[in-house]
Structures are given as structure tokens and as C-alpha cells.
Chain A
């Protein structure tokens, strides 16, 4: 792989806190290696700002290997930037060329208020999980792990849904700010497994109710969420969510 260096112009969203008004600020970075990750380029910029006596840009990040789901930048109009099935931390600078201008914004959604600069509050996702994204099994209650065989296809599909990292790119990228892919992934994972059967109906009804309460929008099937999902979570999960929801709505006694 050929390596090269580049000079870039960055336009980055700066916002002091949740209540203040934000704006795009322009910065220059020089001599950036194509081998750097996007966040390492931000490290360079932040070191530069600190030395100049300015405040560094706040952004969320932790594992830097594409699995914790904490990083969350909207880069040139795309959640996590130009690469497919990729997180911001795994985006590398070889995606850009010398002289490029890169615009970086936070996740944009009413249900994810900005905390500072590029950092947003995604606690609404935790509250959706609290509403039913689990199997109610206390520690020590379990039967032997091989007592219930599970069709490999169902297990594989459950795994693919469970691969969601909860980053919120689906919401940020959706014109309606819908969380249906996130919720659909969790509902699917547990609906596909026999262990999830007992709470199947209450789970989907409660999670959807919480999703609505948090102010996420509706799904209008544009599939932008799937296109931008760093883990390639399929919109089939939204179809399954809808079907589970309808079935549960028709059959639960509570309604």
C-alpha cells in the first residue's frame, strides 16, 4: 500500500454545551499520514489547539477498534464517513487526498441532544433496552447450555442482529430520526431464540412504546440506516420488528 501525506481543511461543529448555539469552525492540519486513523488525525488537531492555547474539540471515542460504538462523527454528510460498514475510528486517512475539505458534525437527532461539540447524549438507547431488551433470567437459574438445540440458521441470524454496537448511526442518518433498526435488531435477536419466547410479546410492545416516548421518528423504509450501519445490520430486522409488533398487538390480552 502506497503511503502519502496530506494537508487538509476541517470544518468542525463547535458547541459549548446542550443549551448554547453552535457553529462550524475552520481549522487547517498539515502533513497528515495516509496511515493514520481519522481519530488520530483529530488527536493531531487537538494537540495543535492545546499548544495554541485554544480549547480542543470534544468527541466520543474509546476502543478505537470498531466495536464499542462510542465514536460518532458525521463526516461529509455521512454517518461514520465515506467507507461502507465502518466506524469513525476505523476510517483511515487514505480515504482522503491532499487539499480536501472535510466537514465534521455531531449525530443530528432530536433524541440525541448535543452535550458538547461532537459529543451527544444517547442514553435514550439504554432506556429502550431497559424497557425490554433482555431475557428475564436471574443468575443461577439456567439449564444446561446444550439442553435446547437451536437451528444454526436461527442462531446465525440472531448473532447478526446482536452484532449491533448501539452507536446510533442509523438514527443520525435517518431523515425521520427513527430508531427502528436499533430496536429491530434487539427484538429480532431475542425473537429468533427459544430463550426469548416467554417475553416475546411484552418485549416488542414495551420497547416500541419507549422508543416513541423518547421522540424517535417513524420508519418510512428509505433503508438509509442499513446503508450507513457500520455493522451491516439488515433492514430485515425492521420487517421482523413490524411483524412481531403486529402479532403482539393482535394477541396480547392487555391491549
Chain B
């Protein structure tokens, strides 16, 4: 099948407007007859369900948590980008578009990214109208800060809890539609298959996680807003329940998977402390506005950080990248940390950490405060304490979180940080309308592959999730549904529903009947280790080939030796997890295949075979300026389809942050 991204013709900055001007519409009376299924209630899912409910469609929304408010968007800390140019510092739609394409190392689709930049400003307006309490200045207007990979201040934030506030805004809009009867909410439900009739997505099979019963749900269209798949690595900053299952079922039903190997390893996370670790915690990128990253100049320096004098510290990001300093993009910052630790300059007990130090920022803010109040001859202790208050207001919750986890006070001691898996740029391949290769099946937010190329810039995930849900899908879905107004709701007694439900139940029984010896968790940990070692921050052909074999062996072992307690028809978290881990194992293999195929380095994908003399990622635009979209061929593996990327505006060049 030829891949048609359906990017509208015309000039870049007119495409979206032209599209909106000519797209097919569904009249209000017909909207009431059309049913839409939304899977996942994070920023993309909650905003889509709310916006579509407002338009009058009949929406059913599903989440596996006990309430839609718990989706993992809630944990996003630092902020959301928007091209408002409130700071008068030269920002514009074009700059946001340009930064995002460049930040993604020229592996994103320009048309989508431009649209994202265009709708970004309206997102902030919408959220403020919903009562999202963004940070404000004393004059009452909105405050901004900087994130990596940009030289303007375009990030809106609510302390270190921006994701929480945006999600609660979208959740409240969703609950309003529930109250109005436009959305029916199914919490503690997990989608276990897509139902296709005559080639179109027509519903899902979901499992009620409280009773364990499977259910059939019809929809004229199905929207997957189920997030990313970082948990394939076992340890990541994702929530424990975050999984690929919904997207993977879609993939096995004909939806191509785009750039699966593009994983974001976030530079500033709390380091692993031991084998017991179940997840990793992010320390927001916003901290790099004020924190300085360093390691000792001397290898294996065991002195306490406060005992290491200034001249014996290596602020390696400032040294290597003077133009962007501590605010280089995530992929660059992560690799630089790994490089220092691999060379033996790491700190802490495991030596796999670097320092993120706030002392200078605290003193700087402290001096500003003394200036404001006209204090004179102030001692350092007072300056420090005044500065500490400013830092606390900006990042207080993050500092508290750090102290709870590590038992160390980051106001006194620099934080120890190390990169960790955070976000997946890859996902279901979608066209400009966010439709997958299965008609009627859409993917929004992190679940799709579209906007971030090979590396996502900070504060852009929240922007994309809400852009897709509030401002893109309400238009593009209508273009499909306009042709469906004569399609009556299909009974879930239809053979396709019966068959899909039987398949789901067969698989559940198969899992329960293995009755092996090893726990689900033990398989997940082993998969994670293979992925982190061989498909993590650095990859090479030999390692990836080994990983593929190891994963295939692990899959066999899983299906013959996993032990799942309890019954199917009850609340059974182990069974839920087993299904997810089985899907992660298959995805892991595809990620390695994709990483092996892409014999170039770009963004977060670093092939050791392809680097510049000073160790930067070296792209190969002649051979790899395409989106790798993989088609699942069941037992025959996968077939690669290529969507060639045409850069009309931003001409690819070696990315430089020096």
C-alpha cells in the first residue's frame, strides 16, 4: 500500500487554514447519530472526548485507571509551549515550527509541525478560560520560562505541575460532557482489540478490569489516545500502568507503526538506586533554566560536591555547547551525561550520575531580592535564604519530591541526576488527519508518531496532546464521518464483534493456562534490560541483532513459563499486566528491527556507527530522510513502508547547538 500522508497543497502557512476552509462538515442533527470511541483519557483523549461531545457526537471514553483524571499526562511537570510572543523576545509561529523541526533532527513532517505551532496559542486561551491556574506575574499577566532547544521564553507553566493542571482542565471539560450525557465514561476498562468491518474500524473489545468480563462496543470511528510505550524498558518515567496494548492491537489489525525506535531518554532523572526499583522519577527540564550541570574534572573524585572547588568542576554542557549551554535539547544533554559517566567522571555511589547544582541560581536570585528591597551589606547566608525562597516558589514541589526519594536536601547539596526513558516519539503512523492506515481508526497525542521527529523538545508533548484533541481532530474526523452519516449503528451481535471477542477470550485463557513458574514482573524486567542495554542511549548493529534473538527467545519462554495467579473473571492485576508485557515483548522486537534498519544517528536514535568526529549524532539524509512505517505480517514478521520526508521550508543541516 502506498503511504499517502494527505498533506494539503499550498504554502506551508496556509495549508491548515485552507484545509479547514474546504473540509467536509457534519450537520448537528447527524452528529447526534454518530458514535465515537475514545481510548485513553490523558491530554489527547480527554480533550478529544470533551471537544467531540461539545460538538454533539455520541462519545464513549475508556481508561484503565479508576478515574479519567489519573492518566499519566498528570505527571508532566515543566510546561507547555505556545507561540504567543508575550515576552516580546522574537517568538512566532514560524520560530516554534522551526525549532520543533530542527529539534526533531529533521525527521518530522513539516505540515503537521506547522499546524501544531499555529494552534498552540489557542490552547493557552482555552486552558485559561477553563480555569487552569497558570503562573502569573505581579501585573496579573501570564509568566513564561525557557525550555531546551529554544532561545525564547514560550513555555507556560503552573509550578512543576503543569500537566496536572492541564489534565484537570481537560478532565473537567470531559466530566461536564458526561453530565450533559454526550460522553459515557468507562473507567477501569482496558481495550483489548479493535473490531473491523469491511476494512473500517467499527468498535472495540474492552475488558472491565473489576469484573474481568469482556464487552463489545460499537463506534463509527475509534480514536486511540493511549499514550507512549516507554515502559517497554521496564524502568521509565511512565506510570506503572502505561502500556502499548491498545496501539499494538491496532498495529496487529493493520495500522502501521511509525519510527518505533525513536525513544526519548530524558537527561534529568533521579538515578537508579537498586534492583528493587519499579520506576524512575523525572526532575523537570525547567530546572535547567537555573541549575548548572557538572562533574568533577578529576576521575573517580570521591569528595563531597561542596568540597570540590569551582576550578575543579567541569560544567561540560556549557563547555561543549556555549550557545545553548545547559539548555541543549534532551538527546544532546543525555548523551553528554552518558559520555562523562562512561569515561569515569560520574558521581554518587553507583558513579552513574552527574550533578545538577542550584547554588549559583539561589545566590543570583537572593541578590536580586536584596536589590528589590534596598538592603545593603547583606551577608551570604541572608542572600542564600532569600534566593532559596525564590527557587522554592519556582520548583518547590520538585525539590520536595527529590528529597522524599533520595533523603537529600537539594537546596544544600546538588541533585544527582542521570538520563532515563521518558517519551516515545514513535507510534502509530498517521496521516495529516491523524488517521492510521485503517480507515476510521485514529491516533492522537503520544500514541501517534507525527510531530516530534527523532527528538521531542521539552514542553511540546502537552502542546501536541491538546492540539490533537481540542483543535485538530474536531475538524479532521468530520471529514471522515461526513461519509458515514448513512451508516446505521451496527449491532454488536455482528459476526466481527463475536469473532473479535472470542479471540480476546481465547488469549486470556491461553495466558491463564500456561501455569508456569516465573512471574510476569520477572519477564518484564528481563525485557527492559535487553532494551536498555542494546536499544537504549547508544545502539549498534551487533547489539541489535543479539537483542532480536534474545527477545524472540524471551517471547517463547514467556508463553511457556509465565505464572499468573487468580481467575479471569475477577479483579486480577497480574493478568492485566501479563497481557501488556506480552505486547511489550513483541514491540521490543520491532523497535530493534527498526533501529537496525536505520543505519544513521538522528535525535534520540544514536547508532555508534554513525557519529561525527566530536561524537555528535550524524544523520544520513540521502538514505534515511523517511518515516519508517512497519506493517505487521503476523508470523512473517514486518514489512517496511517508507514515507519520504520533503522539507519545503527548513532545509536539513547538521544540527548545532554550539
Binding site for B on A (CB under 8 A): 1, 17, 33, 35-37, 39-40, 43-44, 47, 49-51, 53-56, 58, 60-70, 83, 85-86, 90, 92, 94, 115-116, 119, 121-123, 125-126, 129-131, 133-146, 148-152, 155-156, 158-159, 162-163, 165-166, 189-190, 193, 195-196
Nearest 3 A/B pairs, CB to CB: A149-B140, A134-B172, A142-B129
Q: Can you show 30 pairs from A to B with CB atoms below 8 A apart? A: A1-B406, A1-B407, A43-B278, A49-B565, A51-B519, A56-B573, A56-B574, A61-B240, A67-B164, A68-B71, A68-B74, A68-B239, A92-B407, A94-B407, A123-B187, A129-B172, A138-B54, A139-B51, A139-B470, A140-B126, A143-B125, A145-B128, A150-B140, A151-B140, A159-B135, A162-B132, A162-B165, A163-B164, A195-B129, A195-B130
Question: Shortest Cβ distance from B282 into chain A, in angstroms?
Answer: 8
A83 / chain B contacts, CB cutoff of 8 Å: 404
B642 on the interface (CB 8 Å rule)?
Answer: no
B122 CB–A CB distance under 8 Å: yes
B69 at the interface (CB under 8 A from A): yes
B547 within 8 A of A: no
Contact of B571 among A37, A44, A116 (CB under 8 A): A116
Instruction: Select one of B65, B168, B172, B565 contacting A70, CB under 8 A.
Output: B65
Question: Is B553 on the interface with A (CB-CB < 8 A)?
Answer: no
Contact A166 B161 (CB under 8 A): no
Min CB–CB distance A18 → chain B (angstroms): 9
Is the pair A130, B239 in contact by a Cβ cutoff of 8 Å? Answer: no
Q: List chain A residues, Cβ under 8 A from B138.
A: 152
Report the Cα distance A135→B133, complex, angstroms: 13
**Which B residues lie within 8 Å of A193 (CB)?**
131, 133
B84 interface contact, C-beta 8 A: yes
Task: Please tell me which stretch of B175-183, B307-315, B433-441, B495-503 contacts chain A, meaning at least 4 of its Cβ atoms lie within 8 angstroms of it.
Answer: B175-183
A58-B571, A145-B84 known; A50-B172 Cβ under 8 A = no
Residue of B nearest to A119 (CB): B571
Shortest Cβ gap from B626 to chain A (Å):
34
- Pick the contact of B131 from A58, A86, A158 — CB < 8 Å? A158
**In the assembled complex, B29 has its CB within 8 A of some CB on chain A:** no
- Scan residues 109-150 of chain B and give those whose CB is less than 8 A from a CB of chain A: 122, 124-142
In the docked arrangement, what's the CA distance between A169 and B336, Å? 42
Is B408's beta carbon under 8 Å from chain A?
Answer: yes
Q: Known A-B contacts: A67-B74, A83-B404. Give 18 more (CB < 8 A).
A: A1-B408, A40-B278, A43-B278, A63-B75, A65-B279, A68-B75, A92-B405, A119-B66, A130-B178, A139-B50, A139-B54, A142-B128, A145-B124, A146-B86, A146-B142, A149-B136, A159-B159, A195-B128
The CA-CA distance from A84 to B629 in the complex, in Å, is: 49
Assembly CA distance A122 to B69 (angstroms): 12
B605: min CB distance to chain A, Å: 27
Q: Is the CB of A50 within 8 A of B67?
A: no
CA distance A1 to B404 in the complex (A): 12
Nearest A residue to B72, CB-CB: A63
- On chain B, the residues within 8 Å of A145 by CB distance are 84, 124-125, 127-128, 134, 142
Residues on B with beta carbons closer than 8 Å to the beta carbon of A119: 66, 571
> Contacts A139-B54, A146-B142 hold; do A86 and B129 have CB atoms under 8 A apart?
no
- Which of A90, A119, A126, A143 has the largest count of B CB atoms less than 10 A from its CB? A126
Residues of chain A within 8 A of B128, CB atoms compared: 142, 145, 148, 195
CB atoms of A135 and B129 under 8 A apart: yes
> Mask for B424-462, Cβ within 8 A of A = 1, else 0?
000000000000000000000000000000000000000
Residues on the B chain within 8 Å of A130, using CB: 175-176, 178-179
Question: When the two chains form the complex, which single residue of A17, A69, A159 contacts B570, counting CB atoms closer than 8 Å?
Answer: A17
B608 close to chain A: CB less than 8 A: no
B residues in contact with A69, CB < 8 Å = 69-70
Task: Specify which of B168, B240, B563 is in contact with A64 (CB 8 Å cutoff).
Answer: B240
Whether B28 is near chain A, meaning CB under 8 Å from some CB there, is no
Q: Closest CB of chain A to B471's CB: distance in Å?
A: 7
Closest A residue to B521 by beta carbon equals A47
Q: Which residue of B lies closest to A231 (CB)?
A: B397
Query: Which A residues lie within 8 Å of B573 (CB)?
Result: 56, 58
B276 contacts chain A at the CB level, 8 A cutoff:
yes
Give the interface of B toward A (CB within 8 A). 47, 50-51, 54, 65-72, 74-75, 84, 86, 122, 124-142, 158-159, 161, 163-165, 168, 171-173, 175-176, 178-179, 185, 187, 210, 237, 239-241, 273-274, 276-279, 281-282, 400-401, 404-408, 470-471, 474, 519, 521-522, 563, 565-566, 570-571, 573-574
Closest A residue to B50 using CB positions: A139
- Nearest CB in chain B: distance from A129 CB, A: 5
Say how far A41's CB is from chain B's closest CB, in angstroms: 8
Give Cα A134 to B276, complex, Å. Answer: 41
Flag if A63 contacts B565 (CB, 8 Å): no
Given contacts A62-B65, A134-B176, A159-B165, contact A50 B574 (CB under 8 A): yes
Give Cα distance in the complex from A36 to B127, angstroms: 37
A130 CA to B177 CA in the complex, in Å? 8
> How close is A91's CB to chain B, nearest CB, in angstroms?
8
Chain B residues with Cβ under 8 A from A121's Cβ?
66
Residues of A within 8 A of B279 (CB): 64-65
A61 to B240, CA, bound (A): 7
Known contacts A65-B281, A134-B173; A144/B125 CB under 8 A: yes
**Bound state CA distance, A35 and B404, in angstroms?**
10
The CA of A108 and the CA of B316, in the complex, are separated in Å by 52
User: How many whole Å from A205's CB to the nearest CB in chain B?
Assistant: 15
Name B122's contact: one of A47, A122, A131, A142 (CB within 8 Å).
A142
In the complex formed, the residue of A with least CB distance to B564 is: A50
Q: What are the residues of chain A within 8 A of B86 when measuring CB–CB? A: 146
Question: How long is the Cα–Cα vector from A36 to B277 in the complex, in angstroms?
Answer: 7
Residues of A within 8 Å of B566, CB to CB, are: 55
Complex-state Cα separation, A137 to B648, whole angstroms: 38
User: Given the complex of chains A and B, what is the CA–CA distance between A68 and B72 in angstroms?
Assistant: 7
Known A-B contacts A1-B408, A33-B276; A134 and B574 likewise in contact (beta carbons under 8 Å): no
| A195 near B67: Cβ-Cβ < 8 Å | no
The distance in angstroms between the C-alpha atoms of A126 and B68, with both chains bound, is 9
What's the Cα separation between A86 and B401 when bound, in Å?
9
Complex partner residue of B75 from A65, A85, A94, A122, CB under 8 angstroms: A65
B276 with A44: CB separation less than 8 A: yes
Contacting pair A142 B66 (CB below 8 A): no
**Residue numbers in B under 8 Å from A141 (CB-CB):** 129
A108 to B623, CA, bound (A): 62
Inter-chain contacts of A64 with B (CB < 8 A)? 239-240, 278-279, 281
B518 shortest CB reach to chain A, Å: 9
Q: Which residues of A contact B131 (CB under 8 A)?
A: 134-135, 158, 162, 189-190, 193, 195-196
Which of A53, A126, A136, A148 meets B67, CB within 8 Å? A126
**What residues on B are CB-neighbors of A47 within 8 Å?**
519, 521-522
Q: Is the CB of B471 within 8 A of A139?
A: yes
Chain A minimum-CB-distance residue to B238:
A63
Residue of A nearest to B572 (CB): A58
B524 CB to nearest A CB, Å: 11
Query: What is the bound-complex CA distance between A19 and B341, given in angstroms?
Result: 55
